[in-house]
Chains A and B, each alone.
Chain A
Amino acid sequence: MDELQEMREQLAALKEKLNKQEVVNDHLIRSLLNQKMKVVNQKGWISGIAALFVITFGNWMFHQMGLSTCFLIGTTIMMTICCVATWISHSWVKADNIATGDLLIVAKQVGRLRKVYVNWIYIAIPLIVIWFSWLSFEYYHIVQDYIATTAMLSGGLIGGLIGGILGFKQNKKVVRELDEMLRQINDISELDIKKR
């Protein structure tokens, strides 16, 4: 028999064998959950790096502008809290648990992380308003010029608004990803119950 034709038959035998096998959804979904968590963690890293950038470059710039040490310390504390809170909340969800562990525990961890992201908006907005008012007050005291202050603050406000909208979108995206993860865990749990 022609080699290639024989190989075709051998492949058919292989596929027949594989067709009898069930690729369990549980594993596929766990794999997808892991992927989703990676995306969420990536966003956490990006916001952490942005916070570090504000601490270093931002503070250097504020110092050049002649803003008070008190303001610099305040900014540093605020951004450090952001960094640490992001790092801690992301470390709750362990990749090992997603891969092989109890998904109920993963669901709890993901739920906790989701809560942080949802509540973050309510903490971040007042904090930003306070910080920006403080910045305006400090800057006005340095330049003593209403027009210069307005010009600088308008620029800052536009930049802040753009950053805020992007941040808000990212936050919503992360919450959506986490909702999706919770729904998938629910799907797997239902699958487990049906199997029992």
Chain B
Amino acid sequence: MVAPQSELLHEPALSYAYPLYRNMLDNSIVFMYHGPITPDLVVDVLGLVEYRLGDTGEDRRVSKKLFNIMVESFTLGEDNRRGHAALVVRQLPYLYSVCIGRRIPSPLVYQVKAFLDRVNTLSPDQLREEYHRLLQSREPDQVQFIGGIPSISVLDLARKSHDFLHYVFEYVDDEDTFFSLEARIRKNNL
């Protein structure tokens, strides 16, 4: 019997399911998403994560913080011109991790890296001052971008997470680099 052409081109779905399941289990991933990011999606995802947290009896301070960070993380993924974003939420015994990943133009990597490195050196007071400056700096419809990333959203994440922002750049091709930004919520910091 000859396999249909679609099966020759694509592995049967079942062979993907187990590695994905193992990956999620081994890395404590409670939510993964890849696709367009819209306000409707944000609301739906928050509902799903709230449902997941409901089972675990998570402290309300922690879940509020997680939601606020997720809402802002989505803002960083809004650029459908270069493909859709990926969102991963991990739940570990001592922390939550919210990671947003998207393509950015490769020539802008150093600009984004320099900005993130600078944000990571700022004290809470300096972060607040910088956030206030950006909040007041422009008209409401004009957000300052660094390498295609809204800088005020990065500052907001840094303030809310009370932790360093973790990032990785991965080569896609000469035009694009995949940029992942992770904000962590350490339960003992709240």
A and B together in one complex: no
